[in-house]
Amino acid sequence: MSDTSHANPYRVYWVTWGILLVITVSMLAAELLHLPRWFLIGFLVSFMMVKALMIGGNFMHLRYEKANLAVMVFTGIMVTSLILLAFITPESWNVMHQTLR
């Protein structure tokens, strides 16, 4: 039988923080690589979703909750994201067209 009384209870938080740091640095570095805009946006959005899932699961303790609570939080995040996308997309088209003139 292994002795777990000396295990670090904060290990999961430190590992999560380290992974989030690596993801954040890679997202910042991706901008410096001058990738095509469509690929960069897809890359950034996908890693933002991974970060949101990690933060929600580990720091907000959603991975220990019942599945219906996690689904409710996920649904709220998706609805908020769609609303923001609906407002930001037309504005981004206006900014892009003004920049190209």
Q: What are the pLDDT digits (tens) for 67-94?
A: 888 788 888 888 988 888 788 777 777 7
Considering the entire predicted model, what is its pTM? Answer: 0.64
Between 24 and 85, name the one with better pLDDT.
Answer: 24
Give DSSP secondary structure letters for 25-82: HHHHHHHHTT--HHHHHHHHHHHHHHHHHHIIIIIS-GGGS-HHHHHHHHHHHHHHHH
Extents of the domains making up the chain = 1-64, 66-101
The phi, psi pair for 2, rounded to 5°, reads: -90, 150
